[in-house]
Chain A
Amino acid sequence: MADEKRLQEQILRISGVNPRKCMKCGKCSATCPSYDEMEYHPHEFVAMVEAGEIEPLLRSESVFKCLSCMACVERCPRGVEPGKLVEAFRLAVVRTKDSERLKPDDLPALADDELPQQAVVTAFRKYLK
């Protein structure tokens, strides 16, 4: 449990988010384009971080389904910025040794001739450390 406390502090520090501002309206999840792909949704990230339930989020595929589209950040009536929280989890995961989501060697097989360089460099940002 002490570990979860430390992880909670780490996530709050990386993200700069204050989950206690949330009024549980669910608008962030209602507007999230990746909603169907996620096991935990933006409002659940907020609520679970507040409750100190960090491990399940760190283990969830959901952190990699976020598009960083900032729709939840723009539309949250309380300025909670849930997308930043999801990003902090993704960083916490890929910063861990051997936890990269993609290896540079995986990329050639995924890219076709038309894929813009922008997608490749973004993937490096999002999935590798």
Chain B
Amino acid sequence: MKTVSYYPGCTLRNKAKNLDFYARACAEKLGFSLCEPETWQCCGGAFTASEDEIATKLSAVRALKAARDAGQPLVTVCSACHNVIKRTNEAMKNASFADKVNAYMAQDDDFKTEYHGETRVYHYLEYLRDVVGFDRVKEAVVHPLSDRKLAAYYGCLLLRPGKVMAFDDPENPVIIEDFLRALGAEPVVYAMRNECCGGHLCLEDAEATKKRSNAVSDSAKNHGASAIVTACPLCRYNLIKNGSELPVIYFTELLAEALGVKEARNG
């Protein structure tokens, strides 16, 4: 069985345990296993898009470097971790930025060799598409999600900035729809699938966040979806908290259902 480095992030250890549990169980079923580098730390939740921020990017570099040293790609599940880690990795390919970070990190006991963005970072969905293959996922399905009309919700973090994330076409993505088809479900394409849920603004301006979240869940509902599918704990929180009439489900939970591994989890 192939082993890959796995970055769960802080939220998957707490409020989003299902997202994590099913990611692991499904990986085993699909023939790869997720191994956490001992040195991973919280990614910080948000990538700061400024040229002069260094300290806030260090924690992501530690996990990236650990994966490189293990000779493995780094797989993430949470949309926010994935965004931060991919953007940090890209920043580390810039020599003048990397020099500053490496000089700082040299103070760590275990930081022997410099890091320059060598690790290949995958979102779990990308790993399924590019390495495992959605056709193999489809073959492994034992409970097809037939007659389920599901709305893939990308939000912003999986897709943007498109050049760095390289996850899919940022304006017309298909990866989650293709994933849902592999599970036997019918994807619903709707206008707001790649617009923001309001994100962290929920702590600063709850009313504004409500408007954003309702625009997304209403759009999915009006296009006939029966549920919304996400990879992001904060999207899920905002949509539910602001009264989404549709259930909001993690993609790993759906995968577990289709692969017949959901029974393994009690409560």
Chain B contact surface mostly: loop
- Is A122 within 8 A of B11, CB to CB? no
Residues in A with CB closer than 8 Å to B51 are 13-16
**What total of A-B pairs shows CB separation below 8 Å?**
136
**In A6-31, which residues have CB < 8 Å from any B CB?**
13-16
Whether a CB of chain B sits under 8 angstroms from the CB of A37 is: yes
Chain A contact surface mostly: helix
Number of B residues contacting the other chain (C-beta, 8 Å)? Answer: 45
In the assembled complex, the Cα of A95 lies from the Cα of B232 at a distance in Å of 29
- Is B49 within 8 A of A84, CB to CB? yes
- Is B10 within 8 A of A64, CB to CB? no
- Is B237 within 8 A of A70, CB to CB? no
- Is A119 within 8 A of B52, CB to CB? no
Closest to A112 in B: B241
Whether a CB of chain B sits under 8 angstroms from the CB of A115 is: yes
Whether a CB of chain B sits under 8 angstroms from the CB of A51 is: no
Enumerate 21 A-B pairs (CB-CB under 8 Å) in ascending A order.
A15-B50, A64-B204, A65-B201, A67-B212, A68-B49, A69-B195, A74-B160, A75-B171, A87-B49, A87-B50, A101-B204, A102-B203, A110-B203, A114-B240, A117-B15, A117-B42, A122-B234, A123-B204, A124-B45, A125-B44, A125-B48
A contact residues vs B (CB 8 Å cutoff): 13-16, 33-34, 36-37, 64-65, 67-71, 73-75, 81, 83-84, 87-88, 91, 101-102, 107, 110-112, 114-127
B contact residues vs A (CB 8 Å cutoff): 9-11, 13-16, 42, 44-46, 48-53, 56, 78, 80, 156, 159-162, 170-171, 195-196, 198-205, 208, 211-212, 233-234, 237, 240-241
